[in-house]
Structure 1
């Protein structure tokens, strides 16, 4: 059985919007503004290990388009090892239409998405990574399809912007699995989602 892992970056107050400043959000661009060279070096190493351990990527349409458009420059600006792994992984994109940018090893999920994702979990044995894709991530959490949350917290309070858990209609107990520092200022938290109907355990 595969494990769906939501992996994301957030400000200290939970904002996930526009980390690279390309979406036009007035407080965007915080990813590079508030992380030092050592932070970013160790962040890249962490992302590369995570991708190497994964079996597949699961993305919403907008995040898929973002990654697909930047795939050619990832090797130069981030890490060749990470870029090569991202390119080689099977990719599953949730989209209402099949008209998506070309990227290797891509399958569109667009009919009964919940059943298709459940079937994907049954077929896989390893991690199914969800990058970005905040609308999809919320839907996965709401339907108790997400198994783990990996959250890298950046040392900045933005005060406004979209948050990962915006619009959640129910409580979601989680169990802290691990916390560790990345570089000098980032903190990586790993949480397991409690099974549906169960509270968090110590």
Structure 2
């Protein structure tokens, strides 16, 4: 059984958005000033040597414009080699591969992929999909790369209405620029009462 890791770059106030996305978001590339070689190496380690990707269609399209032509480096090589499992209503237009659509029922598609042999699955970006999979109990780990900045606006990590979940801190580290990397194991629904 493969694990599904959600890896997100997030501000202190929970914003994961990095581009305008057609809605006048005023802070594109807000995390650039905090990137360091140590942070890059830590993020690469969080992904692992081999992984496949679970992506929403918007993130897939953004990444397909960048990663196939990115200079060779460990992250680009791993991302380009990964099978991309994509939540989409237009599977015939998927060109950057290896790629497979998740099908009309995304949660069932992820369950099917998790049950196969292969490397762990990583979901990056794709905040709507992250909320769905976390709410459906399909995420095994949540890895947060938290930047020392408050944005005050933008898409949040978890959508309103996502079912409550309990997580357990597995480990944490920091970079020289003040970025905190924390890995949590999802332990299940939040106990009530």
- TM-score above 0.5: yes
Superposed, which structure 2 residues align to 1:47-58 within 5 Å? 47-58=43-54
1:153 maps onto 2:146 in alignment: yes
Contact residue 22 and residue 29 of structure 1 kept, 8 A: no
Q: How far apart are the structure 1 equivalents of 2:59 and 2:44? A: 18
Unaligned runs of 5+ in 2: none
Deviations 1:52-90 (A, max 9, x none): 434311100000111111014432xxx612111111111
Q: How far apart are the structure 1 equivalents of 2:43 and 2:185? A: 19
Q: How far apart are the structure 2 equivalents of 1:101 and 1:114? A: 19
Contact residue 54 and residue 129 of structure 1 kept, 8 A: no
Contact residue 53 and residue 83 of structure 2 kept, 8 A: yes
Deviations 1:91-111 (A, max 9, x none): 111101213341121111122
1:129 maps onto 2:122 in alignment: yes
Residue 27 of structure 1: CA displacement? Answer: 2.9
Superposed, which structure 2 residues align to 1:96-107 within 5 Å? 96-107=89-100
- Give the TM-score normalised by the residue count of structure 2: 0.89
Unaligned runs of 5+ in 1: none
Quick check: which one's helix share is greater?
Answer: 1
In structure 2, the partner of 1:113 is: 106
Q: How far apart are the structure 2 equivalents of 1:120 and 1:72? A: 24
Secondary structure of residue in 2 paired with 1:140: helix
Deviations 1:17-59 (A, max 9, x none): 12xx4544113331114x1xxx431222123333443431110
In structure 2, the partner of 1:176 is: 169
In structure 1, the partner of 2:25 is: 25
Q: Aligned pairs, how many?
A: 190
Contact residue 8 and residue 145 of structure 2 kept, 8 A: yes
